[in-house]
Structure 1
Amino acid sequence: MKIFYAVQATGNGHISRAMELLPYFQRYGEVDIFLSGANNSLQLDAAVKYRSRGLSLFYTNSGGLNYWEIARQVAPMRVWKEVRDLPVERYDLVINDFESITSLACLFKKVPSVNFGHQASFISPKVPRPEHKDRMGEWILRNYARATQYVGLHFKQYDDFILPPVIKREILQAEPQDIGHITVYLSSYSDAQVRKYLQPLQEFRFQVFSREVKKPTSDGNILFLPVSKLAFNKSLITCTAILTGAGFETPAEALYLGKKLMVIPIRGQYEQFCNAAALQKMGVPVLKALDANFAAFFRPWMERKRKPCLHLDYSTEAIVSYLMHHCHREKQGSLDMLYPDAIFN
């Protein structure tokens, strides 16, 4: 079997998941990877056959999306050329982890595909949403990477096509410890912003994973560390608690390890507000921003004993087996029904 695997490279979560899934996909055949995106800190430890700048998200230094930079990176002629040239029709199975160019190429060439990953779960109305839904956010979740089949991943099985998170082997096999630090990963905040609100909490030690530093840098009660898979795993496994964005992979790993977890959704990123709504239902505290009120929330949270946990019912091998046995190519005739408002004719 020839498998086309499209990986969204905005942020680090998709790449982290891809590195875990790839060996299992390779048991079923030859896998060619399409890496799309221009804003990540981790490298994909595998041969990449196709690359694209894709349609990426960029962040400000104060917890939000940088809409100007996102718009500046859009290049319609480049995107159209990549859609036209991407050879998805040569493959027996197209697996798409929330990547828009692959989705458009499959739509243009009428090739079936499966949207596999966390974002696929939002096709279901049963998945938690924030109190105030965002119409544009909902549209993006449903249309950014449209497919003919969906297999979602989420904290709980909110619907029959949703499976548990894919947890890295290093986390699954770890013996959690508590050596007293708080792990911090807030990719949309600058080091200066993080320092401003964490440094006054002198009774706590923080390990902050940063986009800015090239080597470990101590600053009072804060150790700034460059983003690396090995260092982050070690910090997470040995921390007392973790403060991070409301993404999917890192909160799932923290819950699996039984760590205290607090999240701050990235402003303007609707998916994170949906995740925050799900985490809040599980008992995880959610903050609107890293600001002057942070210390008043942080200290009481650190004194709490109760910690929400995540229990897995599936192994990674079982998740891939489910995907492979339920997502075979469909007849071309079904595509017109699944894409009734196709933009290409």
Structure 2
Amino acid sequence: MKYLFIIQGEGRGHLTQAIALSEMLSKNNHEVIGALVGSADGKKIPSFFLEKFHAPSFSFASPCLAYCKKTKALDIRKTLTQTFLNVKKYISSIRKINTIINQLNPDIIINFYDVLGGIHQFLYRPAIPMVCIAHQYLLLHPNFQHPKNHWFDQLLVNTNTRITALGSIKKLALSFTPFANDEKQNIYVIPPLLRSEIEQLKPQNKDFVLVYLTQYSLADELIKWHSKNPKVMVHCFWDKPQNTEVYKYARNLHFHRINGQKFLEMMQNCNGLVTTAGFESVCEAMYLGKPTLMIPVPKHYEQACNALDAKRAGAGIMGNKFELNEFMKYIPKHQDISTDFQLWHSRSTFLFLREIDNIFDTHNAPNFDLIPTIA
């Protein structure tokens, strides 16, 4: 079978999943013939993806999240405004997606949570089936536990999620733990797609905390806490442009330029991970048995869901700010769940290929439901 990927390319999560799936498919005699990568500017594809993904890649402009510079919180109004102002650009992107699909003629399209991928499927309705993959589809599952008193945020996120899956044959929901499938909504639960390098690591516990920031502006909170706790060794990865690979802010506080391989190598040796509740980094920590402090970006509902669900799964604890006092107390009490998580992850190839093999079952039909119901 020939596969074409459509990937929401802001951040690293969906891109990393695409790399992992490409490797899995290649090992099982399938062919990935290309990737369409959406981003805010529609031009640059991250170098780490180009190095690992061994098929042609094409960029296109796609809607992305916007944040408040002052508060660092997710700004819904700004996100929606930017989306409407760039409608003409996105129409061109949809046409580009259609042109490349016609040129490459894949057997299956895999959409990694890109909105325009779903809209394309809705508008053009190609005969080529589309399967969607993301952890966000688990939020539509009736058994998923959502944060309380956030009905409007839930409505917005679920509406966006449904748009990405317009016309899809199946929604493959990545999950920290097993869930029963919801065939009524075409939701099938599979393990996380993790990069293969993690299976080669040998975890140790050395005396430092590892931090991953999705926005470098959040570092102010970490710096403030560390000024009161200067004896704690902290290595932080961030996206702030800098001239050196490592910026030594203080004797025991070092900021590293984002580097996927280096981050994994340091994760295997840290005694705990602090992160902004991104799905991928939490999964990697669970695989390696590292306790995790999850601090969702303010007003970022998806990350709030990730943190709550990961806590349920035994990954660690939640926090509101980069103040690590409670986490330092928690680390020695953490119960290692890596064996159970690795067992669940080991089923990823079998479960994915099983769902693909069943893709042409007569009971599966494209889903063009736009009703924004709350799961």
Shorter-chain TM-score tier:
0.7 to 0.9
Match of 1:64 among 59, 73, 79: 73
Contact 1:5 1:34 in 2 (8 A): yes
Name the structure 2 match of 1:122: 139
Name the structure 1 match of 2:312: 281
Contact 2:22 2:32 in 1 (8 A): no
Aligned length: 336
Deviation at 1:254, TM superposition (A): 0.3
Contact 1:260 1:308 in 2 (8 A): no
Match of 1:205 among 219, 233, 237: 233
> AA paired with 2:349?
E
Name the structure 2 match of 1:28: 30
Is 1:54 paired with 2:44? no
Contact 1:164 1:312 in 2 (8 A): no
Deviations 1:154-200 (A, max 9, x none): 10112221011122222122110112111101213523333122332
Deviations 1:128-169 (A, max 9, x none): 211224322232233344323111111011222101112222
Is 1:217 paired with 2:226? no
**Partner-residue secondary structure (3-state), 1:176:** coil
**Partner-residue secondary structure (3-state), 2:64:** coil
Decide which moves more: 210-219 or 223-232.
Answer: 210-219
Deviation at 1:85, TM superposition (A): 3.5
**Partner-residue secondary structure (3-state), 1:43:** helix
Deviation at 1:41, TM superposition (A): 6.3
Is 1:93 paired with 2:125? no
Contact 1:63 1:189 in 2 (8 A): no
Within 2, Cα distance between the matches of 1:57 and 1:334?
Answer: 30
Shift of the 8–145 alpha-carbon distance from structure 1 to 2, 3 Å rule, reads same
Deviations 1:253-306 (A, max 9, x none): 10111101110012222211111221222342111233xxx2442332234343
Match of 2:289 among 251, 258, 269: 258
Within 2, Cα distance between the matches of 1:60 and 1:226?
Answer: 23
Contact 1:201 1:295 in 2 (8 A): no
**Partner-residue secondary structure (3-state), 1:125:** coil
Within 2, Cα distance between the matches of 1:180 and 1:259?
Answer: 13
Within 2, Cα distance between the matches of 1:183 and 1:229?
Answer: 13
Relative to total residues, which structure has the larger helix share, 1 or 2?
Answer: 2
Deviation at 1:50, TM superposition (A): 2.1
Name the structure 2 match of 1:80: 91
Is 1:187 paired with 2:214? yes
> AA paired with 2:174?
L
Deviation at 1:8, TM superposition (A): 1.3
Shift of the 143–121 alpha-carbon distance from structure 1 to 2, 3 Å rule, reads same
Name the structure 2 match of 1:300: 329
Within 2, Cα distance between the matches of 1:42 and 1:246?
Answer: 24
Within 1, Cα distance between the matches of 2:350 and 2:256?
Answer: 34
| Superposed CA RMSD | 2.6
Within 2, Cα distance between the matches of 1:24 and 1:329?
Answer: 23
Shift of the 320–295 alpha-carbon distance from structure 1 to 2, 3 Å rule, reads closer
Gap runs ≥5 in structure 2: 182-187
Gap runs ≥5 in structure 1: none
Within 2, Cα distance between the matches of 1:68 and 1:83?
Answer: 24
Within 2, Cα distance between the matches of 1:330 and 1:150?
Answer: 16
Deviation at 1:252, TM superposition (A): 0.7
Match of 1:149 among 166, 170, 187: 170
> AA paired with 1:28?
H
Shift of the 205–80 alpha-carbon distance from structure 1 to 2, 3 Å rule, reads same
Deviation at 1:16, TM superposition (A): 1.5
Within 2, Cα distance between the matches of 1:308 and 1:285?
Answer: 14
Within 2, Cα distance between the matches of 1:180 and 1:288?
Answer: 24
Shift of the 60–194 alpha-carbon distance from structure 1 to 2, 3 Å rule, reads farther
Name the structure 2 match of 1:136: 156
Give the alignment of 1:9-48 within 5 angstroms.
Answer: 9-26=9-26, 27-38=29-40, 43-44=48-49, 45=51, 46=53, 47-48=55-56
Aligned-residue sequence identity (percent) comes to: 20
Deviation at 1:30, TM superposition (A): 4.3
Within 2, Cα distance between the matches of 1:51 and 1:330?
Answer: 34
Decide which moves more: 297-306 or 146-155.
Answer: 297-306
